[in-house]
Amino acid sequence: MLILAGFLVGVLVGLTGVGGGALMTPLLLLIFGVAPVTAIGTDLWFAAITKMAAGKMHHTKGLIDWQVLRYLWSGSLPASIIMILLMRNGFVALDISFLKTAVAIAILITALSMLFQKQLHGLGKHLRISDAERFKKWQPTLTVIAGAVLGGLVTLTSIGAGAVGVVMLTYLYPLRLTPARLVATDIVHAIPLAMFAGLGHLFIGNIDFSMLGWLLIGSIPGVLIGATLSSKLPQAPLRIAIAIVLSLVALKLLL
């Protein structure tokens, strides 16, 4: 069951860049009955290693925008370190109720982001064309801020690097990033972010390495299949379907 779950999530990660956290963490919580702290910590390493396989394939195709990545990492990696320190020193609660609620809210934000991605892309495109000079002036700063938001969210819940990151980039780079480059850049951004956050959870003691191994046996071939098909299949219907599923999962966790 763990191998199958890893494979299915891996395929979706390769196809859309979404699912490393938004789908795997609730699967571990609701289907496998894993404790929230362990689900989050294990999923961060699952996402990092799974996305490494996809990232390598996207890199060989020349789809990664490294300048955008540098801006994102400038915000996300420091924010991840700060969140780890807050968690380790007790400033952020790690009890079951709080973490389940945080995960549910993060999933709901992910689902809403996916549903309104087209509208945000249209707004970004309009601003980019109508006020190009001002928009381009603020792009780097806003990208760093977006990275910081993702860094804190992913470290706390393991969720957001895929879907929320894609939506932010859709708005900030409506002309520069094609759908394929968008997915590739978002996937590669998540790798060091998930590793940073995963190291923090490792020090706190929240990783189940046995479960992680079974998940990766399924996810690595799955993500390679998904990455191969990502430029050949329509993204919009897939993302809407995932968003609907995530909305139901979030409500289940909240209730």
Quickly state the pLDDT bin for 89 (edges 50, 70, 90): confident
Quickly state the pLDDT bin for 218 (edges 50, 70, 90): very high
Higher pLDDT, 149 or 54: 149
Written as six digits, the tokens of 52 are: 């490494």
On the CB side of 16, CA atoms within 13 Å amount to 25
Overall average pLDDT of the 30-41 stretch: 90
Q: What is the number of other CB atoms lying within 10 angstroms of the CB of residue 60?
A: 9
Mean pLDDT of the chain: 87
pLDDT in tens, 134-144: 999 999 999 99
250 vs 245: CA distance, rounded Å: 9
pTM of the model: 0.85
Q: Are 106 and 26 in contact (CB under 8 A)?
A: no
62 vs 101: CA distance, rounded Å: 39
| Predicted pLDDT at 232 | 75
| Predicted pLDDT at 144 | 97
| Predicted pLDDT at 128 | 87
| Predicted pLDDT at 23 | 86
Which residue segment(s) compose the domain that 171 sits in?
Answer: 2-254
Residue 94 pLDDT greater than 90, yes or no: no
Overall average pLDDT of the 185-212 stretch: 88
How many distinct structural domains can be found in the chain? 1
65 vs 44: CA distance, rounded Å: 23
